[in-house]
């Protein structure tokens, strides 16, 4: 068979498949990814819940987890502290300031209380043993010194009458036997002693010796703290203000400033007055109050007692002459009485009486030193050792209404 000839130059054509690029749809891809991610998230959440529920059944240690309860009160306090002061109203700010002041004075009072004790006079052994014995023979005491052997406490001595023994209760509520080491009858204060060998070390370690202040820095309206036994019961605490410091009381051989306050008191209250720095500025003595003010705390200013306290702490007797006098002021001078200390009274059976000093005399010198005020006279007497003789110069009205010089030789004694 003859082969069919193809025309020259003609090319054979074959079926050619053309692959067309498909256009990419980004929205469909994003939707698919989100759908996949959502399913994965749901699966993970369900797996976590299942694991958390089933863990206590498979993990024995999880049953021993410690349970704690949050201190809601503490959380509330922390939230309150986070509040900005600028948001407080004037009334709220005032209340906040009062609360801060109250906390501050309570802190001071708690420190001073470490110096305050309760002294009880025991009238017989049965009362010592009886726990139901009513504590009526009790006064406050102030720890003022500590030696290697004893703790020395300053307080009133009116409980000593008829007492066979004493006991002292410290701030830690521990009680020890005490003795009356030294005393004076003019003001009625003394020093009690507790043997340190009988005391627990914890009691000794918590003792604080207070700072004695100065009445010169005290003014009317000053804030004060009253502590001790001023209200008729133990561990009493009161706050108030100084109402007056102008009053002065005369005692034998001296005069003493009185601190008057607006703090209510028991009739026979005892204790101490402190300032806001924790310094003792007064010794409570309700016997100094006049009838209308006996219900308010009054006390001796501490400045006038420091020399006497120091002597008692050192077991030195307080000098005593027995003269009750007043200053001769310009007004009194106009009545013809010379300058000096006018003798109002002389104590019976006293060194002054034995030396011949009489009411109406005017004292001008003690031991060669001129004196023009009762406080100056008292300061000179405090320098003299009991048992020593001293010259006291003065003036006495003569027959012709004129004052003449007189000299007395006084053997200074003590009144205990």
Could you report the per-residue pLDDT of 68-112, keeping only the tens digit for each? 444 444 555 555 555 555 677 877 777 777 788 788 889 999 999
Concatenated DSSP letters of 169-203: E-TTS-EEEEEEEEEETTTTEEEEEEEGGGS-HHH
End-to-end CA distance of the chain: 171
Distance CA 69, CA 332 (A): 78
> What does the DSSP 8-state code read for residue 393?
E
Helix, strand, coil abundance in the chain, percent, nearest 5: 30, 30, 35
> What does the DSSP 8-state code read for residue 212?
B
- Pairing type for strands 175-184 and 223-229 reads unpaired
List the structure tokens of 84.
Answer: 């900005």
Domains recognised in the chain with CATH numbers? 113-205 (2.40.10.10), 215-313 (2.40.10.10), 319-414 (2.30.42.10)
> What does the DSSP 8-state code read for residue 416?
-
Does the reported pTM lie above 0.85? Answer: no
Could you report the per-residue pLDDT of 264-275, keeping only the tens digit for each? 999 889 999 999
User: Which of 131, 129, 123, 126 has its CA nearest to residue 160?
Assistant: 123
Cα separations in angstroms, 302 against 97, 140, 235, 258, 308: 31, 16, 21, 9, 10
In the predicted structure, residue 8 carries a pLDDT above the cut 80: no
- Beta carbons of 110 and 156 less than 8 angstroms apart: no
User: Which of 181, 109, 105 has its CA nearest to residue 144?
Assistant: 181
How big is the chain by its Cα radius of gyration, in Å?
A: 45
- Beta carbons of 119 and 178 less than 8 angstroms apart: yes
Distance CA 103, CA 297 (A): 23
Residue 412: the pLDDT is: 98
Could you report the per-residue pLDDT of 370-416, keeping only the tens digit for each? 999 999 999 999 999 999 999 999 999 988 779 999 999 999 999 98
Q: How far is CA 229 from the centre of its chain?
A: 14
Residue 368: the pLDDT is: 96
Largest interatomic CA distance in the chain: 198
Average pLDDT over residues 227-243: 93
Residue 26: the pLDDT is: 53
> What does the DSSP 8-state code read for residue 265?
-
In the predicted structure, residue 174 carries a pLDDT above the cut 90: yes
Could you report the per-residue pLDDT of 101-156, keeping only the tens digit for each? 788 889 999 999 999 999 999 987 555 555 444 456 899 999 999 999 999 999 99
List the structure tokens of 376.
Answer: 């100056």
Distance CA 209, CA 252 (A): 30
Q: How far is CA 352 from the centre of its chain?
A: 41
Residue 12: the pLDDT is: 40
Could you report the per-residue pLDDT of 190-223, keeping only the tens digit for each? 999 999 999 999 999 999 999 999 998 899 999 9
| 3-state SS, residue 32 | helix
Task: With residue 309 as reference, give the H or E element that holds it.
Answer: helix 306-313
Residue 205: the pLDDT is: 95
């Amino acid at each position: 068979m003859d082969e069919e000839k193809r025309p020259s130059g003609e090319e054979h054509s074959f079926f050619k498949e053309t692959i067309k690029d498909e256009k990419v749809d980004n929205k469909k891809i994003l939707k698919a990814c989100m759908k996949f991610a959502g399913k994965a998230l749901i699966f993970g959440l369900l797996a976590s819940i299942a694991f958390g529920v089933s863990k206590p059944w498979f993990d024995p240690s999880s049953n021993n987890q410690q349970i704690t309860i949050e201190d809601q009160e503490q959380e509330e306090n922390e939230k309150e502290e986070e509040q900005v002061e600028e948001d407080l109203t004037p009334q709220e700010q005032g209340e906040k300031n009062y609360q801060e002041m109250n906390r501050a004075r309570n802190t001071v009072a708690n420190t001073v209380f470490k110096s305050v004790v309760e002294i009880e006079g025991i009238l017989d052994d049965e009362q010592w043993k009886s726990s139901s014995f009513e504590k009526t023979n009790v006064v406050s005491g102030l720890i003022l010194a500590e030696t290697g052997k004893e703790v020395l406490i300053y307080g009133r001595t009116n409980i000593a009458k008829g007492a066979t023994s004493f006991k002292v209760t410290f701030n830690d509520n521990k009680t020890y036997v005490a003795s009356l080491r030294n005393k004076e009858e003019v003001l009625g204060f003394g020093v009690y002693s507790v043997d340190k060998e009988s005391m627990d070390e914890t009691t000794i370690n918590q003792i604080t010796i207070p700072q004695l202040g100065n009445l010169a820095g005290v003014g009317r309206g000053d804030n004060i703290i009253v502590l001790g036994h001023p209200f008729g019961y133990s561990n009493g605490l009161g706050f108030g203000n100084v109402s007056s410091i102008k009053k002065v009381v005369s005692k034998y051989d001296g005069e003493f400033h009185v601190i008057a306050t607006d703090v209510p008191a028991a009739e026979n209250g005892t204790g101490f007055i402190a300032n806001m720095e924790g310094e003792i500025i007064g010794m409570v003595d309700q016997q100094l109050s006049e009838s209308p003010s006996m219900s308010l705390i009054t006390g001796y200013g501490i400045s006038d007692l420091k020399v006497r306290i120091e002597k008692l702490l050192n077991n030195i007797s307080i000098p005593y002459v027995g003269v009750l006098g007043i200053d001769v002021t310009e007004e009194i001078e106009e009545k013809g009485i010379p300058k000096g200390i006018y003798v109002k009274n002389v104590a019976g059976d006293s060194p002054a009486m034995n030396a011949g000093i009489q009411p109406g005399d005017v004292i001008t010198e003690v031991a060669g030193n001129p004196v023009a005020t009762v406080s100056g006279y008292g300061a000179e007497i405090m320098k003299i050792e009991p048992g020593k003789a001293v010259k006291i110069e003065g003036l006495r009205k003569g027959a012709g209404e004129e004052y003449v010089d007189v000299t007395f030789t006084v053997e200074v004694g003590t009144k205990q």
